[in-house]
Every structure is written in C-alpha cells, then in structure tokens.
Structure 1
Amino acid sequence: MGAVGLFFVGAVLFINGAMLLGWVDARSAVPMNFFVGGLQLVTPTYLIFTANGDTDTILSAGALYMFAFTYLYVALNLTLNLDGTGLGYFCLFVFLSALVYAGLNFFRFNDPAFGVIWLYWAFLWLLFFLLLGLKREAIGRYTGAVCAIQGWVTGWIPALLLLTGAYATWSGPLAVALAVFGVVVFGGLYVVMGRSRPTPVEPSVGQRQPA
C-alpha cells in the first residue's frame, strides 16, 4: 500500500470509528470516505498499469481496491440512507481476503509488520460483518473503538515510518509491538465494551457505517 494512501486510510478509519462511537455525525463523515475511496481507486490503478507485469506489485496493489470499495460503499450508504446489509457481507469478503494477505506478507513478502497489520484489518472487517451483515448492534461501540484505534496504529504510525524511511529499521519491533498491543487492548476493550448496551442507531443501521 502506498505510504501516502496508508496515511489517509488512518484518517478515515479514525473518523469512521468516531462516527460509530457517536462522536461524529454520520453525514459529516461522507466527504472523507469519498476522498479516501477515490484515492484508493486511483493509486492501485496507476500501480497496476506501471507494474510491467510484476506479479508481486499487482498482487499488492489489487488489495487496495478492497479499501476503496469499502469507503465508497460507506459514503453511498450514508448519502442514500441505504441498509447496511450489503456492505456487511462485502466486509465478510474483505475479512477472508485479508487473512490471505496476512499470510502473503508473512511468508511471501517477508514483512511481518504488515502481516500483523493485515490481521488487524481482518479482525476489524469481521466486526463490520457482524455489526452490519448480521445486525449484532451490541458490538457497535466496541467496533467503533477498534476502528478508531486502528486508524492510528495500522495507518498513521506505519505510514510515517515509511515516509521517513525508518520502516526497514523498525519493522521487526513494530510487528511484535502490534501483536502484543492488539491482544491486550482489543481484548480489554471487549471486556469493558463488547457486551454493553448498543447505542441507538438513527434512523437505521445504514446510518452507522464502518471504515
């Protein structure tokens, strides 16, 4: 994923997490979802057309469309006040694909930090599927908290490391730190928030969309 694109993925994840937590009005999150969704369409298209047949580049770039379609889907659902079920089942597709990309980063690209980051994204998109596809509204605030946190730890931090040229040095420690952080923080949050009473959704679940 391009470092600049990853930086703004962090921004939209944080905003959408804040939306699910009730801190941000749903419609006010629409522009950022359109902006980042559009960016994530342009970036992989350019990378694929300039890859000169490099299969690893094409493989990595193709994954960006999953993010683009998620954010654009969110924006359209919020704009048109659509039910979130279709988006929820698309998130199931992304969840399964993210598991594959996690394995590819561990074993093919030799990038354990992004292997862990892809596991983070798999977990988050699984939560979106449960929340939107299966209507498990009790996990709404928990999903929002996970989404907002992931904006910083899977977007902002690795993007800054890539943009400053420090990623190669910190890749190994980052993988370990993220693995421990994810288990401790998301596990602890679930104990506190996961079974709490759902926040009322207005006027329908389609108004509370994910990353």
Structure 2
Amino acid sequence: MENVGLLYVGAVLFLNGMMLLGKVDSKAAAVFNLFVGGLQVITPTYLIISSQGPSAAASNTILLASGLYLFGFTYLYVGIGILAGLDTTGVGYFSLFVAIAAVGYSVASFKILSNSPFGVIWLYWAFLWALYFVVFGLKEESLTRYTGWVTAIEGWVTGAIPAFLLLTGAWRNVYVSAIALAAFGVVVFAALYPLTGPPASRWRLTRTSPSPGS
C-alpha cells in the first residue's frame, strides 16, 4: 500500500517542481497537494492500525508508516497555505524539521530495515526539504529555480520510478541500486547548481572572455 502512496509522492513532487519553475499555476498545484497530502495521512494511519502485536515486523511497519506523515503534512500545509494566501515561513521551518527527521529515517533504513536504497532516498529527501527551508523559511528566492529542478527530478528518481519498480516486482539488486542512486544525486545536483542556482554562479559559468579590467 505504501508503494502506491510513493507513486503519487513522485507525481506531486514533479508538479511542485513545475510550479516552482513557473510552469504550473500555484492554486492548481495546491489542489493536487491536498489530494496527495490526504492520501499520505490516511495510508500510514491504516498501516499503523492494521499492524498486529509487538513483533519486529509490526514495529518496522510502524516505523515506515511514521515517516509518511512527514510528507502528508507537508503537502497539506502547502496546499492549504497557497489557497489561504499564508506566508511561507511556517512551511519553511516545518521543512527544516522534516529535513532533520529524514536523516534519522535514513540511518534507520540502513541500520534497522537493511534497506540501503531507501537509506539513500531519505538523504535525497533530507536535501530537498533543506532547500525548502532555505527558500521558504529563510526567503532565499535566488535558489527557487534550482529547488524547482531538484524537486521535479526527485519526483521521478525517489518517487515514481522506485514505486513502479516495487509495484511490478522489478526492484532487484538493492546494493547496486543504492550506489547508483547516490552517484546520480551527487553528480546531477552538483552539476545543476551552476546552471540554475543564484545569478552570480550562472554568470561565472557562462562568462567566456575576461572583462576589460581583469
């Protein structure tokens, strides 16, 4: 059931990325945030209620389910905030909480759940929600474009594609997947920054000849 939710996490991240890039109207995106936010609250609630007994499997299910609320509350907060015209500071500082929590869930994925790909994916999410803190909490609007691209890419890499592979039973070698995810994230997001980050970094990249005073 959580894999179905992950698929739509990918969808809403992609849509939110397009919103940050100015391709999608914010109110239109807000409605879909409410849909997915509701799903990401209902799903973990069902998983927790249906977990039986003090077994390790039940404990792991509850651990996994508890992390889903971080996403559900984020999307509900974003959707309601846009439609109500609220300041983004609250979402920004909640995103800081999510980013810190995501590091903990990454450690748990590696150490407790023995799921290294999702250990890496949680680090992706920690990075993304840290960007939300910087953009919405600290109001560093120069990073909006970079954050939009990272959001859209993560929608596919951490949401839609893993969910589809899990739903079809095509998720195979977890160690290779973890290494590939880690390498992809480091290379792509580092290369993306000078192309889409603050104007000064883009200017340095595109400067082809020295200025008269250099």
- Using structure 1 for the length normalisation, give the TM-score: 0.90
CA distance, structure 2, for counterparts of residue 173 and residue 159 of structure 1: 17
User: Aligned runs of 1:123-138 on 2, under 5 Å?
Assistant: 123-138=127-142
Q: Deviations over 1:21-65 (max 9, x none)?
A: 011111110121011001001100000001114221111101111
1:96 to 2:100 alignment: yes
Alpha carbons 1:139, 1:196 under 8 Å: kept: no
Which letter does structure 1 place at the counterpart of 2:87? D
Q: Is it true that 1:74 corresponds to 2:78 in the alignment? A: yes
Q: Secondary structure at the match of 1:63?
A: helix
1:115 corresponds in structure 2 to: 119
Residue from 145, 161, 166 that aligns with 2:170: 166
Q: Which residue of 2 aligns with 1:178?
A: 181
Q: Which runs of 5+ in 1 are unaligned?
A: 198-211
In 1, distance between residues paired with 2:38 and 2:173?
A: 30
- In structure 2, C-alpha distance between the alignment counterparts of 1:196 and 1:58, rounded to whole Å: 44
Which residue is 1:205 aligned to?
Answer: none
1: CA distance between counterparts of 2:23 and 2:173?
Answer: 33
Segment of structure 1 superposing worse, 45-54 or 96-105: 45-54
The separation in 2 between residues aligned to 1:170 and 1:14, in whole angstroms, is 26
| Percent identical residues | 57
1:192 is the counterpart of 2:195: yes
Counterpart in 1 of 2:29? 29
Q: Which residue number in structure 2 is paired with residue 14 of structure 1?
A: 14
The separation in 1 between residues aligned to 2:168 and 2:98, in whole angstroms, is: 29
Residue ranges of structure 2 left out of the alignment (5+ in a row): 201-214
Amino acid across the alignment from 1:52: Q
Q: CA deviation at 1:161?
A: 1.0
Aligned partner of 2:159 among 150, 155, 158: 155
Larger of the two Rg values belongs to structure: 2
- Alpha-carbon RMSD: 1.1
> What code does the residue aligned with 1:129 have?
F
How many corresponding residue pairs? 196
Partner letter of residue 144 of structure 2? Answer: G
Which residue is equivalent to 2:210? none
